[in-house]
Amino acid sequence: MLQPKKNAFLIVFLLLLCTWSGAQRIATLQVQLPAGGNSLSIPVEANLDAITFLPDTVLQLVEVIQNKRVPVPYQLSSSGHRMLHWIIAPGKTSARVFELVKGAQVLPPAGVQLQDASGSITISSRNNNLLRYNYATVYPPQGIDTVYKRSGFIHPLWSPRGQELTRTNAPDHYHHWGLWNPWTQVLFEKDTVDF
């Protein structure tokens, strides 16, 4: 039985039509969105154990759009039952058809990418950088005391249009490194230190 996510603010009428015919198709899931619901992203869940006992690794969810099958990303959770979760993306129609098929999960191109360079991870979306997390030690400018070296901070943080929003090592604040978290209550050798 399909159920809309409990925290969704719209009521979604769902109908599960299991079909056991067809080479790879396991089930057809029909979703009828309420009036105006086709302009929203709506989270949906289904009890996977009520549909199939096949292992998660051999399942793929696709949306049927004009006889084309478009892969749909999904997640699985297990709290008593295996639950299949996905988001119905905005579309032109309020009647949507999904198929659960036997086959390795194929995901559409990722919206977010991670690039691990030596000492930092850059997170980007659609070829636009979002932020860089520096996990290796970074030193202050030459001639400044190395006591100000740091790791574990975000710099740069970029705006949606690519402008850098963070700064490191202002001339009067060499201890500031982009976005960082100061440790104000550290217990070290039975003494509390405020960094």
pTM (2 decimals)?
A: 0.48
20 pLDDT above the threshold of 80: no
Res 192: pLDDT: 87
By three-state DSSP, how is residue 44 classified? strand
By three-state DSSP, how is residue 49 classified? helix
**Which residue from 107, 9, 124, 14 is spatially nearest to 61, judged by alpha carbons?**
107
**For range 92-115, the mean pLDDT:** 80
Task: Give pLDDT tens digits for 28-50.
Answer: 999 888 877 777 888 999 999 99
**Which residue from 36, 9, 96, 32 is spatially nearest to 61, judged by alpha carbons?**
96
Query: CA 139 to CA 168: how far, in whole Å?
Result: 11
Query: CA 139 to CA 175: how far, in whole Å?
Result: 10
Mean pLDDT of the chain: 82
Task: Give pLDDT tens digits for 128-151.
Answer: 899 999 999 999 999 999 999 999
